[in-house]
Structure 1
Amino acid sequence: MLGLNIKKSNNIVSIKWQLTKVDIPTSEIIDVSLDDTYGGEEKEAIRIGTPYGTTDRVVIKTKKQTYILYTTNPTSIKRKILS
């Protein structure tokens, strides 16, 4: 998971990638799912990571925003967010 770093502590999910850092309160998260489309279903989503053809996508829907995380380890990331 080079570059994309996910941490969860004190009810905050922190996502870091390159110069981007996003903190999402777990109380704001509505759904965490996998997406098999290349660019993601939601056009207004914030995309984090490098979208390669073989990269999987984890979608985090919050009350205000949708985030698409491009990763090679989607199961681990989803599990970490939902734990």
Structure 2
Amino acid sequence: MGFASTEHLNPEAVVAYVDNELSRQAAARADEHLRLCRDCAGEVAAQARARSMLQTCRNEFSVPDSLRAQLSQIPTQEIDLRGTRRPNRWGR
């Protein structure tokens, strides 16, 4: 997962940061960005709170087998879209 240190962290990067799934280099860039950006630091804090709440209540709720089956079908392999050109909302 990549981002420039001057860009805000995208939602996927926030989740990966909180879940400790970023590479060492990406995590270091995120750390530096979070030190300077209150907006992103707030997003990370909110994601960490949500993660903590989910872990706290995970034993209180059961997940239907049908939902587990649907979730297991979601692809987990990352797709590199940098080489594909997608039009923006104005068709360019």
TM-score bracket, normalised by the shorter chain, equals under 0.3
TM-score (norm 1): 0.21
Structure with greater proportional strand content: 1
Larger radius of gyration between Structure 1 and Structure 2: 2
Higher relative contact order by CA 8 Å / sep ≥ 6: 1 or 2?
1
